[in-house]
Amino acid sequence: MESFALAPVEAMASGCIVVGYTGSGGLEYATPENGFWFSPEQMEEVTDAIAQAIGGLIRGDPGMVKMREAGRAAAARYTRERTKAALRQVYGALQPSPG
């Protein structure tokens, strides 16, 4: 389990309905509004959610449209500028002070 799995964020950015596991880093972006999220021991629930997502997409369920939009919005928060700022904040604090 990755600390920050990029595959779900990339899938949301691409407009996919995500059914997956949060891992550790996924807790930062995983919400009930933007995907079907589970812990590793919930295998049966994952299977049910896959069926629900497929059925919803086939039927044109408005809930799936909202979930897709929420996923795209969540993924849009991860920009280069935000990433650079976060890295500067964390690693800048680790730099020894001059002198």
Q: What is the pLDDT of residues 16-37, one digit of tens each?
A: 999 998 877 788 899 999 999 9
What is the pTM (predicted TM-score) of this model? 0.80
Task: Return the pLDDT at 28.
Answer: 85
Average pLDDT over residues 59-77: 97
Q: Count of CB atoms within 10 A of residue 70's CB?
A: 16
Q: Could you tell me the CA-to-CA distances from 88 to 4, 81, 83, 84 in Å, in that order?
A: 18, 11, 9, 6
In words, the CATH class of domain 6-92 is alpha beta
Task: Return the pLDDT at 70.
Answer: 98
pLDDT score of 2 more than 80: no
Task: Return the pLDDT at 83.
Answer: 87
Helices and strands per DSSP (H, E), number in the chain: 4, 2
Contact between residue 29 and residue 7 where contact means Cβ atoms under 8 Å apart:
no
Task: Return the pLDDT at 3.
Answer: 57
